[in-house]
Every structure is written in C-alpha cells, then in structure tokens.
Amino acid sequence: MITAEQLHQLAESHGTPLFVIDHDELRNNYATFKKYLPRVQAYYAVKANPDPAIVKTLFDAGASFDVASLPEFMVVYDIIKDLPEQERQQWIWDKIIYANPIKADETLQELDRYKPLVTFDNREEISKIKEFAPHSGLALRLRVPNTGAMVELSSKFGAGPGEAVDLILEAEREGLTVEGLSFHVGSQTTNFENFVQAINLAAMIFREARERGYDKMFLLDIGGGFPAPYDPSVKPFSELAKRINAELDRLFPPEIEILAEPGRFMVATAGTAVSKIIGKAVRDGKLCYYIDDGVYHTFSGIIFDHCQYHMESFKEGPTQICTVFGPTCDALDVISMAEELPYNLERGDLLYSRNIGAYSGASSTWFNGFPPAKVVHVNR
C-alpha cells in the first residue's frame, strides 16, 4: 500500500486534485482472486475503471475482460491489435465477453466482425443478434436475487427462470448458439447467500436445458459483485470464495468453464484521491471544508455508485464532525455531511481518500469547467 508520506510527496510534485493508481495493488488483487477461486477465470469489468494502463496491467497479469460498450471493447482491443489475425481472433473468443444484455443495432454490427461472446436476456435481443451479429456466441443472463447489494441490477437485467430454457431454444431455432449462462448478484454484495442461490438456479437451468434436448452449454459466468473491503464489516474474500467453490464443485463438473466479472474487487483498493482544502467556513455552528475535488469528479461514486468514501488528513490534531464540500457551484456537490477531521486544518492543507479506485474517476466530468483529477500511476 502506498504510504501517506508517499501520497503527500506525489501531491506536492503533481498538484491536486490527484488520483493515484497503485499497480502493485492491482496485481495483488488479481493474484488474490486467482488464489481463492482457482477454477474461475477473472474477466475484469472494464466499466469499473477503463484507464488503459489499468487494463494493460491486468492483461499482463493474465486477466480476461468484460466489456459493456464498444469504447470499452476498443480499450482492450488496442492491447492486442498487433497480434497476427488468427491469434488475435482466438484471443477475443477466449478472453472477452460483451456483458451488456441490451445492445444498439449499430454496436452489434460493429461487434460481428470480432465475433465475441455476448449476453442476452429477451426475445427482442435474439432477433437483433440474428440480424446484426449472427457470428457471436451467446450467454443467457439470468435474473437472480440481489438482496443486500449496494447497487441492485435484477430489476433492469435478467431472464426469469421460467422463461430461460425457452429463450435458449428460441435462439437455437434462429441459428444461434447459446454457449452458457451468466448472472450478476448486484454490485458490492456482502450477502454471500446471493451467490449460493444464483449458482443453484443456474445449475437447475443447465439441467432443464439438457432434459429438453439442448446440450451445447459449456460455460457459467458468475458475474461480479465481489465486495471491496471498504470497512471492517465486509467479510474476507476467502470466506466468500469458500462458499462459491463448494457450490461450483458440487453442481458443475470440471468440463464446465467458470467465468467471473470482478471490477470493483480488482481496482477499488488500488485508487487513492488526494485533494486540497480551498476554503473553510462555519455554517450553523458546523465546520465546513471545501476541497478541489468532488462528486462531479473523483467522488462521483457517491452519486452513481451509492458509495461513501472516508477522508483522512495528513495533519494530526483534535477532531470534530465536519462537512466536506466539493468545488463546484452546485448544492449536490457534497462529499460528506459527517466526516471526522482535525478542526485546525487550513487552506492549502491536503486530505486523502483511499479505496476509491472503482466507479469514481470513470464517471468524472468537466462540470462548471473544473477538470477531472490528474491521474498518476505508481509501479513500485
């Protein structure tokens, strides 16, 4: 982990706001995932943070990739574009899943030339894939419990259990091949029972498909949702992995390929934001700090990801509950209404926030003309 002293030095050298990515932490997170889930191939969910340098580090570590838009696909493709054509195409087949169940016609037309694996969850999507991307392999996205997830997804995506095999057979009648199933238990899922229920549901669909004559499925994508350790209440990843491994080994024979789409788990702990206090005021008796980063920038996860990031001070001193505001002229730009910080901080002092690598800088804007934080990559 990058120390507070190193973060302060980087801020002095590069200025603020600063977004620091620790590539050793990326490699460690990938290694941890593989250690505890050895049967599962990790497809990094690029949407969590599409920075090309992050994608390259995970590529070098052995990761595959989950993309959900054509620009994300091209971030990955740029790494392999110089491979010989046959090797490049084989890599795309083996290492990329286009995991957005609903795709524009134009996107499918562009994807067809690359022939990736794509997800679907309804009849309309079968018709679209048949017309615009008939060379793609398919994975059926199932609707599964998202109980307790920080970001719920089941209301937006996923075929119901009762229609799943009908959709698989309909895709086959259209000349398409459904290669397996996928699901997503919801982002930052601390309720591990979601994974257990989803794996059991997928096994039931595999069994029903075989009973109805469809035996072409050979993969299961268990999605994302693997929680980042934002606070001590998050149970260790090893505990979740133990439950997943037990269900996979019990329900799916070794010839079934198992995929997963970790995004937050891979990148959250690798990112740290460093910001500067640009203003200080007391309002209704409460101390308020204004900093040069906010919810339209690195702290966008507060709005879009339902996440709360904690601020730390490089300076020590007696603390009190403060409000921390971002720099824009918008009342929405509130980082925290209850952050415990030293009350003797002054303009120019620095604050930092760890575990902010996922769904943060990925959503930064130029609102009010304020640019996103400068990104600094650290390879120790």
What's the CATH code, domain 4-19+269-378? 2.40.37.10
At 152 the pLDDT is 60
Return d(Cα 103, Cα 229) in angstroms, integer. 32
What is the pLDDT, as a whole number, of residue 190?
81
325: number of Cβ within 10 Å: 23
Q: For 1-22, what is each residue's pLDDT tens digit?
A: 899 999 999 999 999 999 999 9
pLDDT tens digits along 273-312: 999 999 999 999 999 999 999 999 999 999 988 899 999 9
User: Sorting pLDDT into bands at 50, 70 and 90, what band is 148?
Assistant: low
Give percent of the chain with pLDDT exceeding 70: 98
- The predicted structure's pLDDT at residue 103: 97
Burial class (CB in 10 A: 0-12, 13-18, 19+), 162: exposed
Supply the pLDDT for residue 361.
86
d(CA 350, CA 8): 8
> What are the residue ranges of helices labelled H in the chain?
4-14, 23-36, 52-61, 70-80, 85-95, 105-112, 123-132, 161-173, 193-211, 237-251, 264-267, 301-304
- Name the token pair of 307: 């996440």
Q: Please give the residue that has the higher pLDDT: either 186 or 299.
A: 299
Angle at Cα 334 formed by Cα 329 and Cα 336, nearest 5°?
155
Provide CB contacts within 8 A for 353, sequence distance 6+.
Answer: 272, 273, 275, 299, 309, 310, 311, 312
> Is 329 in the active site?
yes
pTM of this prediction exceeds 0.85: yes
Query: Of 288, 307, 322, 329, which residue is the catalytic one?
Result: 329
Cα torsion through 298, 354, 378, 30, rounded to 10? -100
What confidence tier does 151 reach under pLDDT thresholds 50, 70, 90? low
Structure tokens belonging to residue 92 = 């795309």
Local confidence band at 35 (pLDDT 50, 70, 90 cut-offs): very high
Pairing of strands 96-98, 117-120: parallel
Question: pLDDT at residue 138 above 70?
Answer: yes
The pLDDT, as a whole number, for residue 7 is: 97
Position 157 pLDDT exceeds 80: yes
Give SS3 for 96: strand
Contact 66, 45 (CB under 8 A): yes
Per-range mean pLDDT, top range of 85-94, 183-192, 230-239, 261-270:
261-270
Q: List the domain boundaries for the chain.
A: 4-19+269-378, 23-268
Tell me which CATH code domain 23-268 carries.
Answer: 3.20.20.10
| Residue 364 CB partners (closer than 8 Å, separation 6+) | 296, 297, 298, 300, 372, 373
Report residue 149's pLDDT band, with 50, 70 and 90 as the boundaries. low
Q: Which residues of 171-184 are buried (b: 16+ CB within 10 A; e: fewer)?
A: bbeeebebbbbbbb
Quote the pLDDT of residue 199: 97
Q: Measuring CA to CA, which residue among 302, 271, 287 is closest to residue 341?
A: 287
**CA–CA separation, 292 vs 352, rounded Å?**
12
Q: Looking at this protein, which amino acid is placed at residue 197?
A: Q
As separate numbers, helices (DSSP H) first and strands (DSSP E) second, the chain gives 12, 18
